[in-house]
Chain A
Amino acid sequence: MTDRADSRTGERVVSRRRPWWSRVARKLPLLLWLTLVWGLLWGTYDAGTVFFGVLVSVLVMSVFPVPSISTDLALRPLRVVELVAYLAWDMASSTLRVSWQALRHGPRIRAGIVEVTLRIDSDHLIALLANGLSLAPGKFVLQIDRPNRICYVYTLGMITDPATIRSEVLALERRVVRAFGSAGERERMTELSDTGKDTR
């Protein structure tokens, strides 16, 4: 239990006071994002739109304050592009597969719920993985057992061998960690894969 708590400290909600400039700097990305969304909604970025965008963003952020969360996520742009490309391909191919199943099997469709033990141990990475898995038709995460890092994946279509589903999920996990994982998570990942532990 203790080592779990240790590995999670990097993600705890920060509550201690920081100097004011630091607090403002941490809010800047959200402010920029909200202003960007405002600009997209209006379809222009002239001075007036940006001005009111900033105004509305400040208003939104003061009315609905969100705690600042520190994560140890890293971002590797090339790997992110690779992940997005993979998800797009997965989405296209699974749509075709599910469409075919709807026509071919319909009411006689088979399905299964498979238990997968993950190697990653970070809330944000698991959330990213679950969202990525649930994006394409045919699969979604039904239940997550966070302390034991187990997720239960519902899969549409005949399950001849649960091991195939497991290796698919773990392959996506590897891509997510490559794109967003911290150095520590990546090391853990290679260690666990090398020893063959937890890769059932």
Chain B
Amino acid sequence: MTWTDVVAAVFLLAGSLSCLFGAIGILTFPDVVSRLQAATKPQTFGLILIVIGAALRMNAHSASGLLLVVLFQLLTAPVLAQIVGRAAYRADSIRRDTLDTDELADRLHRERSSG
């Protein structure tokens, strides 16, 4: 067992843990928008760590494709979160009682009442 193995193992385990916490968040959080946070982000972070861990154990030749996996994940995940989150807000499937402040609703309310 070399140092590379140890570092790779740490990355793989940390990545898996991050995905696990993401899954726990999906189960326990109350509404679509908060679950979205757990579904898209810890999973992205976990994937990046797992890819780094895997790349350490592979030769550079086969690891290059992994770069693309990370890149497209980073580009697509936030867009997905934003689109779904917006749709959820508009469709009113957000638990308003969990919000401490909602300045978007305040503004919509102002605009509606002013005409």
Chain A residues engaging chain B, CB cutoff 8 angstroms: 37, 39-41, 43-44, 91-92, 94-95, 98-99, 101-103, 106-115, 130-131, 133-138, 140-143, 152, 154, 156, 158-160, 162
Question: Could you tell me if A107 and B29 are in contact, using CB atoms closer than 8 angstroms?
Answer: yes
Partner of B41, one of A107, A112, A138, A158: A138
Q: A109 to B28, alpha carbons, bound, how many Å?
A: 9
A112 is contacted by which of B79, B82, B101 (Cβ under 8 Å)?
A: B101
Contact A114 B101 (CB under 8 A): yes
Interface residue total, chain B, C-beta cutoff 8 A: 44
- Which 4 pairs from chain A and chain B are nearest by CB? A106-B28, A137-B41, A134-B78, A99-B21
> Which one of A39, A110, A114, A136 contacts B98 once the chains associate, using CB atoms below 8 Å?
A110
Q: How far is the CA of A80 from the CA of B61 in the complex (A)?
A: 27
Question: Footprint of A on B, CB under 8 Å?
Answer: 18, 21-22, 24-25, 28-30, 33-34, 36-38, 40-42, 44-45, 61-62, 64-65, 67-68, 74-75, 77-79, 81-82, 85-86, 89, 98-107
B contact residues around A133 at 8 Å (CB): 78
Q: Could you list some 13 contacts between A and B, CB below 8 A?
A: A40-B68, A94-B41, A95-B18, A98-B25, A102-B21, A102-B38, A106-B29, A109-B30, A112-B100, A112-B101, A140-B81, A142-B85, A158-B100
* Residue from B24, B25, B74, B77 with most neighbouring chain A CB atoms (10 Å): B25
Q: How far is the CB of B62 from chain A (nearest CB, A)?
A: 6
- Name A143's closest neighbour in chain B (CB-CB): B104
Interface of B, secondary structure class, is helix
Cα(A136)–Cα(B34), bound, Å: 13
Chain B min CB distance to A81 (Å):
16
A39 partner residues in chain B, CB cutoff 8 A: 64
Query: B73 to nearest A CB, angstroms?
Result: 10
Given contacts A102-B24, A142-B86, A159-B100, contact A109 B29 (CB under 8 A): yes
User: In angstroms, how far is the closest chain B Cβ from the Cβ of A143?
Assistant: 6
Q: Given that A98-B38, A115-B104, A140-B37 are known contacts, is A130 also in contact with B82, CB under 8 Å in the complex?
A: yes
Give chain A residues whose Cβ lies under 8 Å from the Cβ of B81.
Answer: 134, 140
Determine how close the nearest CB of chain A comes to the CB of B24; give it in whole angstroms: 5
Report the bound CA distance from A37 to B33 in whole Å: 33
Give the contacting residue for B65; candidates A40, A103, A152; CB below 8 A.
A40
Query: Which of B30, B37, B41, B45 gathers the greatest number of chain A CB atoms within 10 Å?
Result: B37
Q: Across the two chains, which residue of chain A brings its CB closest to B66?
A: A40
